[in-house]
Amino acid sequence: MNTEQLLRKFAYPIGILFPWLLTPFAFLVTDSLPKANVPLLYIVMVVFIAINVTVELAIINALSSFFAFSFFFAEPYGSIMIHQDEDLLTISLFLLTSVLVGYMATKHKKNVQKIRMREFMTDIELELLERLPKAIDTKDVIEALRDALKPWREHCVLITHDDNWATHPMIRRLTNLRKTYLEELLELRLTDEVIKKIPELEQEHDVYFLYSSRQVIGLLRIAAENIPHLPRDIFLLLLHQVNISLERTRLAADLEKEKIAKENELLRSSLLSSVSHDFRTPLTTMIGATSTVLEFGEHLDKQQTKELLSTVLEEAERLNRYTQNLLDMTRLGFGQMKLECDWVSIEEILGVVKKRLRPLLIRNYLTESISPDMPSLYVHAAFLEQAIFNIIDNAIKFSPPDASIDIECTTENNKIIILICDQGTGIPEDEREKVFERFHTAEKGDRRKSGSGLGLTICRGMVVAHGGTVRIQANPKRIGNKYNPGCCLRIELPIHEQNSQQLPKTEE
């Protein structure tokens, strides 16, 4: 217990008795100083009481000092009766001075306390205003307000949907009916008319609303009478800033939902456009070839029939690739792609890819260069094969006739590098990241090549699932070619030690 608490506890006994206890010391002073200086001792005591306790106690102390001085230092001694006009004037001036000085000292103390409280509230407001713009959601805003109110946690309670606010001492003292009112206010459905009535509801139920334009987020109940000199204007401004932040986070959340909805709609439109464009051509070709065989089969020779059936097979395989890409994209999007890794050589991977590419390599050809010290890969073989297949399939679409597609496999900085380069029209630098987006193709309109715009997206998803990266760079061998500069797609995969234990299966 500090000095101020002790003074408050024993305030009235001190105020009444202390002047009488000070009197022996006053007698000692009169031996060396004029009697006229004695009232100054009592005035000092009155000022001390006024500053450290209250003005009321200072006035009581001044009256008690008046009687003590009259009893011991004014003639006749030992009586509060005063016969000398001079003593009467001295004592009256002493009493007036004591009351005025005590009042002024107390008023000054209150002003100092008010200034300190305003400074304290300003610091709280500045700290809160620094946190509110960084708040991402409603929870962050409420948490920032809760931290700001910590100095008065015993005198205020924050009522929200998620808190056990009913156990707070301020709530326990309320009647069940008032608790029910608070619960109803918390569930209040906001409309324009209700928002206009919020000031009335706050005054009626002695709470402050924390709300956005859609719903009540919480209620603040504060015992302001127990917080001396709380500046109401700063406090209300603080709550106003909190409500603005709650509305901002709501608008941000709604904007994010709207953005996601628009993106989903765009994806659906892109998917429908892609499916209608890329499925229609092979289906039309298949229908035409099949109907020709059915209608004119008897008039066709074996070679013509074989060519038509080969066309149907090729287009069916193309449809199968499109369908596989859509399925892979769905699995990537929903995180259902499971990696079942095993040790495999890059030669085995490329061997399977080349077999799958054989029907597509009609006008182009592959070259490969594999470093002799290439380590084995610890990968899901089918996924890596699909990623490389998608890259080369994309390169074939944009390569001129008789152009090669070059594959180079090396190691660099403890990584396996697979570089696939073509001699096509190239991809502008500002488009190189966009081609990895779903349904994006490097060319549009009449120049658009057949494809769903998913191949490279799936490629990146499969490589990233292995802890690797994929990026596009210029073809260093064709930098000087303005018309067909080509480009290279660079895959980087981590190298694993073969003598280590088999890595656990991961899920992407």
Q: Examine the pLDDT at 179 and tell me if it is beyond 90.
A: no
Domain ranges across the chain: 3-126, 138-230, 259-332, 337-494
According to the model, what pLDDT value does residue 508 have?
39
Q: Which is more confidently placed, 15 or 489?
A: 489
pLDDT digits (tens, 9 = 90+) for 128-176: 888 888 888 899 999 999 898 888 888 888 888 877 888 888 888 888 8
* CATH number attached to the domain at 259-332: 1.10.287.130
Per-residue DSSP letters for 79-139?
Answer: SS----HHHHHHHHHHHHHHHHHHHHHHHHHHHHHHHHHHHHHHHHHHHHHHHGGG--SHH
**pLDDT tier at 52, thresholds 50, 70, 90:** low
Window from 206-210, 338-342, 354-358, 361-365 with minimum mean pLDDT = 338-342
In this prediction, residues 71-99 reach a mean pLDDT of: 68
Q: Which of 80-84, 151-155, 412-416 has maximum average pLDDT? A: 412-416
**pLDDT tier at 448, thresholds 50, 70, 90:** very low
Per-residue DSSP letters for 230-281?
Answer: --HHHHHHHHHHHHHHHHHHHHHHHHHHHHHHHHHHHHHHHHHHHHHHHHHH
Window from 157-161, 240-244, 462-466 with minimum mean pLDDT = 462-466
Separation between Cα atoms, residue 508 and residue 465, nearest integer Å? 6
Q: Which is more confidently placed, 129 or 12?
A: 129
In this prediction, residues 475-487 reach a mean pLDDT of: 84
Q: Which of 93-97, 358-362, 406-410 has maximum average pLDDT? A: 406-410
Q: Examine the pLDDT at 504 and tell me if it is beyond 90.
A: no
**pLDDT tier at 83, thresholds 50, 70, 90:** low
Whether the CB-CB separation of 29 and 41 falls below 8 Å is answered with: yes
**pLDDT tier at 109, thresholds 50, 70, 90:** confident
Window from 160-164, 190-194, 496-500 with minimum mean pLDDT = 496-500
**pLDDT tier at 415, thresholds 50, 70, 90:** very high
Query: pTM score, two decimals?
Result: 0.50
**CA distance readout (Å), 462 to 173, 333, 455, 503:** 62, 11, 11, 17
Separation between Cα atoms, residue 67 and residue 65, nearest integer Å? 5
Separation between Cα atoms, residue 367 and residue 397, nearest integer Å? 17
Q: Which CATH superfamily is domain 337-494 in?
A: Histidine kinase-like ATPase, C-terminal domain (3.30.565.10)
According to the model, what pLDDT value does residue 332 have?
57
Q: Examine the pLDDT at 55 and tell me if it is beyond 90.
A: no
Per-chain mean pLDDT for the chain: 79
Whether the CB-CB separation of 386 and 458 falls below 8 Å is answered with: yes
According to the model, what pLDDT value does residue 275 have?
61
According to the model, what pLDDT value does residue 411 have?
93
According to the model, what pLDDT value does residue 330 have?
63
Q: Examine the pLDDT at 451 and tell me if it is beyond 60.
A: no
Q: Examine the pLDDT at 370 and tell me if it is beyond 90.
A: yes
Percent of the chain with pLDDT over 90: 15
**pLDDT tier at 407, thresholds 50, 70, 90:** very high
Q: CATH topology of 259-332 equal to that of 337-494?
A: no
According to the model, what pLDDT value does residue 165 have?
85
Whether the CB-CB separation of 467 and 503 falls below 8 Å is answered with: no
Separation between Cα atoms, residue 356 and residue 383, nearest integer Å? 14
**pLDDT tier at 272, thresholds 50, 70, 90:** low
Q: Which is more confidently placed, 41 or 5?
A: 41
> Which of 490, 466, 469, 508 has its CA nearest to residue 342?
466
Amino acid at 272: L
Window from 321-335, 426-440, 479-493 with minimum mean pLDDT = 321-335
* DSSP state for residue 443 in the 8-state scheme: S
Q: Which is more confidently placed, 399 or 21?
A: 399
In this prediction, residues 398-421 reach a mean pLDDT of: 92
Radius of gyration of the chain (CA): 44
Per-residue DSSP letters for 320-376?
Answer: HHHHHHHHHHHHHHTT--B---EEE-HHHHHHHHHHHHTTTTTS-EEEEEE-TTPPP
